[in-house]
């Protein structure tokens, strides 16, 4: 649960944005348990189209790959593998998210993981001035420009959602 005294605490994601002098806005909200990004966006009166989720996958070669896509969409595993030049990828099991990324389910930000993994952001982000990503813990969001997210995560964009 996000407590009021916690709202000013910086996450790894925020510290990295600060270090890189990237402009962003933080929004905190009460969150007992994570449901999903669509419910969070609607509960906060936000446009779900600009709310992006972070999914972690594991390629057949053992490499972890991060994908960032709208909360309304599903990851197309074939398109995702193609975008990364991998033979195939599969979703990382929820129980492994913390040990691989340092984050928990529902609080996984593409910024500030234990390691800078290969990251692909859905190209739909380029339509917006600002998108919303996880702030790095439950009850925390970061609003930033897609270009800044691409820069700080050293990522590429591609069409990775199921059609």
Tens-of-pLDDT digits for all 163 residues of the chain? Answer: 333 445 567 899 999 999 999 999 998 888 766 678 777 888 788 888 999 999 999 999 999 999 999 999 999 999 999 999 999 999 999 899 999 999 988 889 999 999 999 999 999 999 999 999 998 888 889 999 999 999 999 999 999 998 7
Count structural domains, the chain.
1
The CATH number covering residue 112 comes to 3.90.960.10
In a domain, 163, yes or no: no
Coil, strand or helix at 146: helix
Per the structure, the complete domain to which residue 101 belongs is given by: 4-158
């Amino acid at each position: 649960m996000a407590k009021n005294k916690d709202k000013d605490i910086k996450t790894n994601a925020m510290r990295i944005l600060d270090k890189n002098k990237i402009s962003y806005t933080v929004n905190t909200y009460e969150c007992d348990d994570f449901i999903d990004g669509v419910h969070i966006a609607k509960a906060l009166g936000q446009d779900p189209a600009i709310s992006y989720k972070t999914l972690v996958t594991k390629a057949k070669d053992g490499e972890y790959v991060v994908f960032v896509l709208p909360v309304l969409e599903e990851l197309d595993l074939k398109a995702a593998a193609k975008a990364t030049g991998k033979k195939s990828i599969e979703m990382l099991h929820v129980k492994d998210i913390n040990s691989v990324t340092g984050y928990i389910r529902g609080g996984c930000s593409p910024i500030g993981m234990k390691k800078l993994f290969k990251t692909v952001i859905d190209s739909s982000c380029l339509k917006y001035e600002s998108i919303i990503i996880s702030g790095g813990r439950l009850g925390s969001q970061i609003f930033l420009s897609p270009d800044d997210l691409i820069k700080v995560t050293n990522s590429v964009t591609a069409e990775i959602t199921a059609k």
